Chains A and B, each alone.
Chain A
Amino acid sequence: DTGVSQDPRHKITKRGQNVTFRCDPISEHNRLYWYRQTLGQGPEFLTYFQNEAQLEKSRLLSDRFSAERPKGSFSTLEIQRTEQGDSAMYLCASSFRQLEAFFGQGTRLTVV
């Protein structure tokens, strides 16, 4: 088990472009979470999947954001028409019965 994997680690994009991030959770973890972390702040919850079902979305997740988890395995987070305010670290975490969440290394997004 190699832990939670996120790809890419870094992404630089021009304002207005679409970006997609991928998260591969620890195998057999049924819960998957996305968080966003801006500089100097703690991570903030974005959305949550149990298996393939997206059960909760934060108000932080505007209409430009969409997340999927087909077949309850990996997950993708897409941001359409990126804005400079989207620049942040996007963290993925997974968990199972032990309740504690294991985090990936994150994807650092810079919108120029």
Chain B
Amino acid sequence: AQSVTQPDIHITVSEGASLELRCNYSYGATPYLFWYVQSPGQGLQLLLKYFSGDTLVQGIKGFEAEFKRSQSSFNLRKPSVHWSDAAEYFCAVGARDSSYKLIFGSGTRLLVRP
């Protein structure tokens, strides 16, 4: 069965510092991988996606993620965090043979220190 693990419930970084949010997935074939961001009381906004090809993908707001098949990981990174990045981040996996429905991790809440 597909599953997604985000091992960090909370992460706190200082503004301007670099960020890495971890995501590990379990799926038999090559999955489609996504990172979404959610502000309090809001829906989810897509940051970036990986379907195939280059394993380093660029997204919006200066985020990037790297797909590592050998580690079953899809970690999200940003070189310099801004206060407005404080939010909840969700990693998700989908696949063609499961109607592209998304399986989400439990999320990582990012706090940004001024």
Contacts and interface: CB of A to CB of B under 8 A. Distances in A.
Given A48-B99, A55-B99, A43 B104 contact: yes
A106 interface: yes
Interface residues of A, number: 27
Chain B contact patch, size range: 20 to 34
Interface string B98-114: 01111111110000000
Interface of B: 4, 32, 34, 36, 41-46, 49, 51, 90, 92, 94, 99-107
23 contacts: A35-B102, A40-B107, A41-B107, A42-B4, A42-B90, A42-B92, A43-B102, A48-B99, A55-B99, A56-B99, A91-B43, A93-B102, A99-B49, A99-B51, A99-B94, A99-B100, A101-B100, A102-B46, A103-B36, A103-B44, A105-B42, A105-B43, A106-B43
